[in-house]
Amino acid sequence: MLTDIQKQAQDKMDKAIRVLKQDLLTLRAGRANPAILDKVTVDYYGTETPLNQMANISTPDPRTLSIQAWDKSALAEIERAILKAELGLTPNNDGNVIRISIPALTEQRRGELVKIARKTGEEAKVAIRNIRRDANDEVKKLEKNGEIPEDDARRGQEDIQKLTDRLIKEVDQIVSDKEKEIMEV
């Protein structure tokens, strides 16, 4: 029972780390990365459709994204969706392909992106701590119901705390790496 609680907590915490990594991928770090368009959805025949499900997104060079829609009639809608997403990017539509030049980041924009990265990291830490709290509550409930002895409950809570501490350090490292990437010139 105790190992089940610890395993569930670890799985949920690992998912929080995966979500953090995915969210940080969408932050623009001065070079073209198709992941920055992952959250863009396009109104395609009345349905909000993720851009990456209706077009091929590639990086022909380090400062350019190229979007080739499978349905050329959707190019205008794709262009509109990119502008609406407020990514600070300006799409150029030539009728066949949409090209987006990734401008060099200003010092001010870099600072804003670092703040966003830290905020995202803090949200991941909060999620991990909430998972720890829930797991500890489960352990206390088992102890209270007499299903496990007090020593096992204490040991279980210590293990959950060690796991939490390790993953909080991992979050800090991931955010730190992203900050370095953003601040690169």
Q: What is the pLDDT of residue 130?
A: 96
Q: What is the pLDDT of residue 28?
A: 66
99: enclosing H helix or E strand: strand 98-101
DSSP code for 94? -
pLDDT, one tens digit for every residue, the chain (185 residues): 788 989 999 999 999 999 999 888 877 666 777 888 888 888 888 888 888 888 888 888 888 889 898 888 888 888 888 888 777 778 888 888 989 888 777 888 888 889 999 999 999 999 999 999 999 999 999 999 888 898 999 999 999 999 999 999 999 999 999 998 888 75
Sheet harboring 91-93: ordered strands across? 55-61, 64-69, 98-101, 91-93
Q: What is the pLDDT of residue 185?
A: 58
Separation CA 78–CA 72 (nearest Å):
10
Q: Which two tokens stand for residue 68?
A: 């080739």
Separation CA 42–CA 48 (nearest Å):
5
Q: What is the pLDDT of residue 32?
A: 75
CB count in 10 Å sphere of residue 94: 8
Q: Which two tokens stand for residue 26?
A: 């969408």
Give this prediction's pTM: 0.71
Separation CA 158–CA 155 (nearest Å):
5
